[in-house]
Amino acid sequence: MKNIKMNNKPFLSIIIPTYNRAIYLGNLLSCIAPQVKESGLVQICISNNSSTDNTREVIMNFIEKYPGLIVYNENERNLGFDRNMFKVIKMAQGDFTWFLCDDDLVVENGIEKVIYFIKNNCGENIGFMTLATRSYFIDKKTGKQVTYSDTIEKDKPKVYKMDKKDIIGQCFPASVFTSTMLFNNNFLKKILEEEKTIIEKALEAKEYIQTFLYRLMFLKYPNLEALRFNEEIINEEAHRYKFYIEDIFQLHYITWTKLCDLLLSSKYMNDYYRKIVIDDKRGTTKTVIIEMGLMKSFEAFNYSSFLGCIKMFFQEAPFRLALLFSAFFVFFSIIPSAVLRNLYKIFIKIRHKEKWQKLWLYITVKNSEMSKGSRRLYD
Protein backbone atom coordinates (compact mmCIF):
# COMPACT_ATOMS: atom_id res chain seq x y z
CA MET A 1 0.00 0.00 0.00
CA LYS A 2 1.75 3.16 -1.08
CA ASN A 3 1.56 6.66 -2.46
CA ILE A 4 -1.91 7.87 -1.49
CA LYS A 5 -1.83 11.54 -2.59
CA MET A 6 -3.73 14.80 -2.30
CA ASN A 7 -4.32 17.20 -5.20
CA ASN A 8 -4.04 20.85 -4.06
CA LYS A 9 -0.69 22.47 -3.23
CA PRO A 10 -0.70 23.18 0.52
CA PHE A 11 0.91 26.01 2.47
CA LEU A 12 2.35 23.76 5.22
CA SER A 13 3.46 20.13 5.00
CA ILE A 14 3.71 18.23 8.29
CA ILE A 15 5.99 15.25 7.73
CA ILE A 16 6.00 12.17 9.97
CA PRO A 17 8.30 9.16 9.50
CA THR A 18 6.95 6.21 11.47
CA TYR A 19 7.85 2.67 12.44
CA ASN A 20 6.01 0.34 14.83
CA ARG A 21 4.52 3.07 17.03
CA ALA A 22 0.87 2.72 16.07
CA ILE A 23 -0.44 3.85 19.46
CA TYR A 24 1.75 6.96 19.59
CA LEU A 25 1.02 7.79 15.95
CA GLY A 26 -2.70 7.48 16.60
CA ASN A 27 -2.39 9.90 19.52
CA LEU A 28 -0.46 12.38 17.36
CA LEU A 29 -2.96 12.23 14.48
CA SER A 30 -5.86 12.58 16.94
CA CYS A 31 -4.12 15.70 18.19
CA ILE A 32 -3.27 17.42 14.90
CA ALA A 33 -5.90 16.31 12.36
CA PRO A 34 -8.80 18.16 14.07
CA GLN A 35 -6.62 21.31 14.20
CA VAL A 36 -6.54 21.59 10.40
CA LYS A 37 -9.49 23.95 10.01
CA GLU A 38 -8.97 25.27 6.48
CA SER A 39 -9.11 22.68 3.71
CA GLY A 40 -6.02 22.53 1.51
CA LEU A 41 -3.86 24.74 3.74
CA VAL A 42 -2.10 21.82 5.45
CA GLN A 43 -1.08 18.35 4.35
CA ILE A 44 0.14 15.56 6.62
CA CYS A 45 2.75 13.32 4.97
CA ILE A 46 3.41 9.94 6.57
CA SER A 47 5.99 7.37 5.51
CA ASN A 48 5.52 3.97 7.13
CA ASN A 49 8.87 2.20 7.32
CA SER A 50 7.45 -1.32 6.81
CA SER A 51 5.92 -1.52 10.30
CA THR A 52 4.90 -4.93 11.62
CA ASP A 53 2.22 -3.65 14.02
CA ASN A 54 -1.15 -2.08 13.10
CA THR A 55 0.33 1.23 11.89
CA ARG A 56 -1.27 0.86 8.43
CA GLU A 57 -4.71 0.29 9.96
CA VAL A 58 -4.37 3.38 12.18
CA ILE A 59 -3.38 5.56 9.22
CA MET A 60 -6.15 4.22 6.97
CA ASN A 61 -8.73 5.05 9.61
CA PHE A 62 -7.55 8.67 9.63
CA ILE A 63 -7.43 8.83 5.82
CA GLU A 64 -11.07 7.72 5.77
CA LYS A 65 -12.06 10.18 8.51
CA TYR A 66 -10.15 13.16 7.05
CA PRO A 67 -10.23 12.74 3.25
CA GLY A 68 -7.67 14.80 1.35
CA LEU A 69 -5.56 15.59 4.42
CA ILE A 70 -3.02 12.75 4.51
CA VAL A 71 -0.41 11.75 1.92
CA TYR A 72 0.72 8.20 2.67
CA ASN A 73 3.65 6.05 1.63
CA GLU A 74 4.49 2.56 2.85
CA ASN A 75 7.95 1.14 2.21
CA GLU A 76 8.12 -2.46 1.06
CA ARG A 77 11.14 -2.97 3.33
CA ASN A 78 12.62 -1.09 6.27
CA LEU A 79 14.98 1.60 4.97
CA GLY A 80 16.32 2.75 8.34
CA PHE A 81 15.28 5.95 10.12
CA ASP A 82 17.20 8.49 8.05
CA ARG A 83 16.26 7.09 4.65
CA ASN A 84 12.63 6.94 5.70
CA MET A 85 12.94 10.54 6.88
CA PHE A 86 14.44 11.41 3.49
CA LYS A 87 11.53 9.66 1.77
CA VAL A 88 8.89 11.67 3.64
CA ILE A 89 10.78 14.94 3.07
CA LYS A 90 10.45 14.32 -0.67
CA MET A 91 6.70 13.80 -0.27
CA ALA A 92 6.18 17.33 1.11
CA GLN A 93 4.52 19.67 -1.40
CA GLY A 94 3.92 22.72 0.81
CA ASP A 95 5.70 26.07 0.85
CA PHE A 96 7.02 25.15 4.31
CA THR A 97 7.82 21.79 5.88
CA TRP A 98 7.43 20.98 9.58
CA PHE A 99 9.17 17.87 10.90
CA LEU A 100 7.38 15.80 13.57
CA CYS A 101 8.19 12.44 15.13
CA ASP A 102 5.43 9.87 15.49
CA ASP A 103 5.49 10.15 19.30
CA ASP A 104 5.09 13.95 19.50
CA LEU A 105 2.05 15.92 20.67
CA VAL A 106 1.16 19.46 19.54
CA VAL A 107 -0.51 21.95 21.90
CA GLU A 108 -4.10 23.03 21.30
CA ASN A 109 -4.26 25.41 18.32
CA GLY A 110 -0.55 24.76 17.76
CA ILE A 111 -0.87 24.36 13.99
CA GLU A 112 -2.82 27.62 13.75
CA LYS A 113 -0.10 29.39 15.76
CA VAL A 114 2.64 28.00 13.52
CA ILE A 115 0.84 29.09 10.34
CA TYR A 116 0.24 32.57 11.78
CA PHE A 117 3.92 32.81 12.77
CA ILE A 118 5.09 31.86 9.27
CA LYS A 119 2.68 34.15 7.43
CA ASN A 120 3.50 37.17 9.58
CA ASN A 121 7.26 36.79 9.94
CA CYS A 122 8.81 34.78 7.12
CA GLY A 123 10.07 36.57 4.04
CA GLU A 124 11.70 34.93 1.03
CA ASN A 125 15.13 34.91 2.69
CA ILE A 126 13.99 32.89 5.72
CA GLY A 127 15.26 29.36 5.19
CA PHE A 128 14.78 27.77 8.60
CA MET A 129 12.73 28.25 11.76
CA THR A 130 12.71 26.60 15.17
CA LEU A 131 9.89 26.14 17.68
CA ALA A 132 9.84 25.84 21.47
CA THR A 133 9.00 22.54 23.15
CA ARG A 134 8.38 21.22 26.64
CA SER A 135 8.38 17.65 27.87
CA TYR A 136 8.11 16.28 31.37
CA PHE A 137 8.09 13.18 33.55
CA ILE A 138 5.54 12.47 36.26
CA ASP A 139 7.29 11.95 39.60
CA LYS A 140 5.53 8.83 40.89
CA LYS A 141 6.29 9.72 44.52
CA THR A 142 4.68 13.17 44.40
CA GLY A 143 2.52 12.99 41.27
CA LYS A 144 4.02 16.29 40.12
CA GLN A 145 5.46 17.10 36.73
CA VAL A 146 9.25 17.27 36.57
CA THR A 147 10.46 19.08 33.48
CA TYR A 148 12.64 16.95 31.21
CA SER A 149 13.15 19.57 28.52
CA ASP A 150 11.90 23.16 28.24
CA THR A 151 13.31 25.22 25.37
CA ILE A 152 11.33 28.42 25.97
CA GLU A 153 13.85 31.22 26.48
CA LYS A 154 12.22 33.52 29.02
CA ASP A 155 14.76 36.30 28.45
CA LYS A 156 14.12 36.39 24.68
CA PRO A 157 11.24 37.90 22.63
CA LYS A 158 8.48 35.77 21.13
CA VAL A 159 10.08 35.96 17.67
CA TYR A 160 13.73 36.73 17.04
CA LYS A 161 16.40 36.24 14.41
CA MET A 162 18.85 33.43 15.16
CA ASP A 163 22.62 33.79 14.99
CA LYS A 164 23.93 31.70 12.09
CA LYS A 165 26.97 30.57 14.05
CA ASP A 166 24.56 28.94 16.53
CA ILE A 167 22.89 27.08 13.66
CA ILE A 168 26.17 25.76 12.25
CA GLY A 169 27.45 24.94 15.74
CA GLN A 170 24.22 23.32 17.01
CA CYS A 171 24.05 25.84 19.87
CA PHE A 172 20.36 26.71 19.86
CA PRO A 173 17.79 25.06 22.19
CA ALA A 174 16.79 21.49 21.27
CA SER A 175 18.94 21.68 18.15
CA VAL A 176 18.58 17.97 17.38
CA PHE A 177 14.90 17.60 18.32
CA THR A 178 13.06 16.88 15.10
CA SER A 179 9.79 18.50 16.16
CA THR A 180 11.40 21.93 16.59
CA MET A 181 12.27 22.28 12.88
CA LEU A 182 10.52 24.20 10.10
CA PHE A 183 12.09 24.54 6.64
CA ASN A 184 11.37 26.83 3.73
CA ASN A 185 10.60 24.06 1.26
CA ASN A 186 11.98 26.02 -1.69
CA PHE A 187 15.51 25.92 -0.25
CA LEU A 188 15.08 22.43 1.18
CA LYS A 189 14.13 21.00 -2.22
CA LYS A 190 17.03 22.84 -3.89
CA ILE A 191 19.48 21.31 -1.42
CA LEU A 192 18.06 17.84 -2.05
CA GLU A 193 18.34 18.27 -5.81
CA GLU A 194 21.71 20.03 -6.04
CA GLU A 195 23.68 18.26 -3.27
CA LYS A 196 22.81 14.61 -3.87
CA THR A 197 26.36 13.29 -3.46
CA ILE A 198 27.10 14.73 -0.02
CA ILE A 199 23.55 14.05 1.20
CA GLU A 200 23.86 10.39 0.17
CA LYS A 201 27.03 10.19 2.27
CA ALA A 202 25.19 11.82 5.19
CA LEU A 203 22.44 9.20 4.91
CA GLU A 204 25.07 6.53 5.50
CA ALA A 205 25.53 7.96 9.01
CA LYS A 206 21.98 6.64 9.69
CA GLU A 207 20.85 9.43 12.04
CA TYR A 208 20.41 13.21 12.29
CA ILE A 209 19.90 13.82 8.55
CA GLN A 210 17.58 16.72 9.43
CA THR A 211 20.35 18.55 11.33
CA PHE A 212 22.81 17.98 8.50
CA LEU A 213 20.38 19.49 5.99
CA TYR A 214 19.91 22.81 7.75
CA ARG A 215 23.63 23.19 8.45
CA LEU A 216 24.47 22.47 4.81
CA MET A 217 21.73 24.87 3.70
CA PHE A 218 23.25 27.78 5.62
CA LEU A 219 26.73 26.99 4.35
CA LYS A 220 25.53 26.96 0.75
CA TYR A 221 23.24 29.98 1.04
CA PRO A 222 25.06 32.39 3.39
CA ASN A 223 22.46 35.15 2.89
CA LEU A 224 19.65 33.05 4.35
CA GLU A 225 18.21 33.95 7.74
CA ALA A 226 16.64 31.84 10.48
CA LEU A 227 13.90 32.70 12.96
CA ARG A 228 13.04 31.41 16.40
CA PHE A 229 9.36 31.13 17.42
CA ASN A 230 9.79 31.28 21.18
CA GLU A 231 6.39 29.88 22.12
CA GLU A 232 5.56 26.39 23.37
CA ILE A 233 4.19 24.31 20.49
CA ILE A 234 5.08 20.78 21.62
CA ASN A 235 4.01 19.81 25.16
CA GLU A 236 4.03 16.16 26.14
CA GLU A 237 5.01 13.62 28.73
CA ALA A 238 8.52 12.43 27.91
CA HIS A 239 8.75 8.89 26.60
CA ARG A 240 10.85 6.42 28.51
CA TYR A 241 13.45 5.01 26.16
CA LYS A 242 16.34 2.97 27.51
CA PHE A 243 19.75 3.56 25.92
CA TYR A 244 22.69 1.17 25.75
CA ILE A 245 26.35 2.17 25.67
CA GLU A 246 26.42 1.07 22.04
CA ASP A 247 23.52 3.45 21.29
CA ILE A 248 25.16 6.41 23.02
CA PHE A 249 28.44 5.85 21.21
CA GLN A 250 26.73 5.42 17.84
CA LEU A 251 24.60 8.55 18.21
CA HIS A 252 26.95 10.93 19.98
CA TYR A 253 30.30 9.90 18.55
CA ILE A 254 30.18 7.80 15.36
CA THR A 255 27.26 9.56 13.68
CA TRP A 256 28.11 13.06 14.87
CA THR A 257 31.77 12.74 13.87
CA LYS A 258 30.86 11.54 10.37
CA LEU A 259 28.44 14.41 9.83
CA CYS A 260 30.93 16.99 11.09
CA ASP A 261 33.60 15.56 8.78
CA LEU A 262 31.20 15.81 5.84
CA LEU A 263 30.47 19.45 6.62
CA LEU A 264 34.19 20.17 6.92
CA SER A 265 34.72 18.60 3.49
CA SER A 266 32.00 20.74 1.89
CA LYS A 267 33.12 23.23 -0.76
CA TYR A 268 30.96 25.82 0.99
CA MET A 269 32.89 25.65 4.27
CA ASN A 270 34.80 28.79 5.30
CA ASP A 271 37.42 29.41 7.98
CA TYR A 272 34.97 31.01 10.42
CA TYR A 273 32.52 28.11 10.42
CA ARG A 274 35.32 25.53 10.21
CA LYS A 275 36.43 26.34 13.76
CA ILE A 276 32.84 26.09 15.01
CA VAL A 277 32.31 22.65 13.45
CA ILE A 278 35.69 21.39 14.70
CA ASP A 279 34.76 22.46 18.25
CA ASP A 280 31.41 20.69 17.85
CA LYS A 281 33.19 17.53 16.73
CA ARG A 282 35.62 17.64 19.66
CA GLY A 283 32.72 17.95 22.08
CA THR A 284 31.47 14.49 21.17
CA THR A 285 34.16 12.85 23.32
CA LYS A 286 33.09 14.71 26.45
CA THR A 287 29.42 14.01 25.71
CA VAL A 288 29.94 10.24 25.49
CA ILE A 289 31.95 10.10 28.73
CA ILE A 290 29.40 12.19 30.66
CA GLU A 291 26.52 10.06 29.35
CA MET A 292 28.29 6.84 30.39
CA GLY A 293 28.89 8.29 33.86
CA LEU A 294 25.25 9.29 34.30
CA MET A 295 24.08 5.88 33.12
CA LYS A 296 26.23 4.19 35.76
CA SER A 297 25.26 6.70 38.48
CA PHE A 298 21.59 5.83 38.08
CA GLU A 299 22.02 2.08 37.56
CA ALA A 300 21.27 2.22 33.84
CA PHE A 301 24.70 1.13 32.61
CA ASN A 302 23.36 -1.14 29.87
CA TYR A 303 25.38 -2.74 27.10
CA SER A 304 25.02 -5.78 24.87
CA SER A 305 28.64 -6.91 25.16
CA PHE A 306 31.46 -5.67 27.40
CA LEU A 307 34.19 -6.75 25.00
CA GLY A 308 32.03 -5.64 22.09
CA CYS A 309 32.04 -2.09 23.45
CA ILE A 310 35.84 -2.07 23.78
CA LYS A 311 36.15 -3.41 20.24
CA MET A 312 33.74 -0.75 18.99
CA PHE A 313 35.78 2.06 20.57
CA PHE A 314 38.97 0.91 18.81
CA GLN A 315 37.24 0.29 15.48
CA GLU A 316 35.55 3.68 15.32
CA ALA A 317 37.80 6.13 17.20
CA PRO A 318 41.47 7.12 16.87
CA PHE A 319 43.74 5.07 19.14
CA ARG A 320 44.17 7.80 21.76
CA LEU A 321 40.43 8.42 22.06
CA ALA A 322 39.69 4.69 22.01
CA LEU A 323 41.97 4.28 25.03
CA LEU A 324 40.19 7.15 26.77
CA PHE A 325 36.72 5.74 26.09
CA SER A 326 37.84 2.27 27.18
CA ALA A 327 39.42 3.56 30.40
CA PHE A 328 36.26 5.39 31.44
CA PHE A 329 34.09 2.46 30.36
CA VAL A 330 36.08 0.04 32.55
CA PHE A 331 36.17 2.55 35.45
CA PHE A 332 32.40 3.06 35.32
CA SER A 333 31.92 -0.72 35.17
CA ILE A 334 33.85 -1.18 38.41
CA ILE A 335 32.82 1.76 40.59
CA PRO A 336 29.58 1.29 42.59
CA SER A 337 26.65 3.35 41.31
CA ALA A 338 25.98 4.88 44.74
CA VAL A 339 29.56 6.17 45.02
CA LEU A 340 29.49 7.74 41.56
CA ARG A 341 26.04 9.22 42.19
CA ASN A 342 27.19 10.85 45.45
CA LEU A 343 30.30 12.26 43.78
CA TYR A 344 28.13 13.72 41.05
CA LYS A 345 25.74 15.18 43.64
CA ILE A 346 28.64 16.90 45.43
CA PHE A 347 29.81 18.34 42.12
CA ILE A 348 26.30 19.70 41.40
CA LYS A 349 26.13 21.31 44.86
CA ILE A 350 29.48 23.05 44.41
CA ARG A 351 28.88 24.08 40.81
CA HIS A 352 25.29 25.34 41.08
CA LYS A 353 25.10 26.37 44.77
CA GLU A 354 21.58 27.48 45.79
CA LYS A 355 20.08 26.13 42.53
CA TRP A 356 21.44 22.62 42.99
CA GLN A 357 18.30 20.98 44.44
CA LYS A 358 16.06 21.76 41.46
CA LEU A 359 18.75 20.59 39.03
CA TRP A 360 19.42 17.43 41.03
CA LEU A 361 15.71 16.57 41.07
CA TYR A 362 15.62 16.95 37.29
CA ILE A 363 18.73 14.79 36.81
CA THR A 364 17.46 12.13 39.22
CA VAL A 365 13.97 11.82 37.76
CA LYS A 366 15.20 11.98 34.17
CA ASN A 367 17.83 9.26 34.53
CA SER A 368 15.74 7.05 36.83
CA GLU A 369 12.72 7.19 34.54
CA MET A 370 14.71 6.65 31.35
CA SER A 371 16.19 3.47 32.79
CA LYS A 372 12.70 1.95 33.08
CA GLY A 373 11.80 2.20 29.41
CA SER A 374 12.34 -0.15 26.51
CA ARG A 375 15.33 0.18 24.23
CA ARG A 376 14.92 2.91 21.61
CA LEU A 377 14.82 1.58 18.04
CA TYR A 378 16.05 3.76 15.19
CA ASP A 379 14.07 2.43 12.23
Q: Over the stretch 20-47, which tens digit does the pLDDT of each residue have?
A: 999 999 999 999 999 997 778 999 999 9
Tell me the helices (H) and strands (E) count for the chain, helix number first.
Answer: 15, 11
pLDDT, position 379? 63
* Close Cβ partners of 345 (under 8 Å, ≥ 6 residues apart): 360
Considering only residues 287 and 376, tell me which one the structure prediction assigns the higher pLDDT.
287
Work out the percent of the chain whose per-residue pLDDT is above 90.
Answer: 73
Q: Is the pLDDT of residue 324 over 90?
A: yes
String of DSSP letters for 336-377 = -HHHHHHHHHHHHHHHHGGGHHHHHHHHHHHHHHHTTSEEPP
Confidence tier at 193 by pLDDT (50, 70, 90)? very high
Q: Calculate mean pLDDT across residues 284-311.
A: 94
DSSP secondary structure code for residue 34 in this structure: G
Confidence tier at 188 by pLDDT (50, 70, 90)? very high
pLDDT, position 288? 96
For residues 111 and 98, the answer to whether their CB atoms sit within 8 Å is no
CA neighbor of 14 nearest in space, from 176, 130, 179, 166: 179
Confidence tier at 1 by pLDDT (50, 70, 90)? very low
Secondary-structure class of domain 12-239 per CATH: alpha beta
Q: Is the pLDDT of residue 254 over 80?
A: yes
Q: Calculate mean pLDDT across residues 132-145.
A: 80
Q: How confident is the prediction for the chain on average, in pLDDT?
A: 90
CA neighbor of 40 nearest in space, from 67, 78, 79: 67
For residues 92 and 13, the answer to whether their CB atoms sit within 8 Å is yes
pLDDT, position 364? 81
Q: Calculate mean pLDDT across residues 167-173.
A: 77
Confidence tier at 129 by pLDDT (50, 70, 90)? very high
The beta strands (E) that lie in 151-250 are given as 159-161, 181-184, 225-237, 241-242
Q: Is the pLDDT of residue 4 over 70?
A: no
Q: Calculate mean pLDDT across residues 142-152.
A: 80
The alpha carbon of residue 179 and the mean position of all alpha carbons in its chain are separated, in whole angstroms, by 7
Q: Calculate mean pLDDT across residues 7-16.
A: 89
For residues 180 and 133, the answer to whether their CB atoms sit within 8 Å is yes
* Close Cβ partners of 114 (under 8 Å, ≥ 6 residues apart): 12, 98, 131, 182, 229, 233
Q: Calculate mean pLDDT across residues 96-118.
A: 95
pLDDT, position 176? 61
Q: Is the pLDDT of residue 7 over 80?
A: no
pLDDT, position 378? 60
pLDDT, position 358? 78
For residues 60 and 34, the answer to whether their CB atoms sit within 8 Å is no
Q: Where are the chain's structural domains?
A: 12-239, 242-375
pLDDT, position 370? 64
Q: Is the pLDDT of residue 369 over 70?
A: no
The alpha carbon of residue 57 and the mean position of all alpha carbons in its chain are separated, in whole angstroms, by 26
Q: Calculate mean pLDDT across residues 66-95.
A: 94
Q: Calculate mean pLDDT across residues 126-144.
A: 85
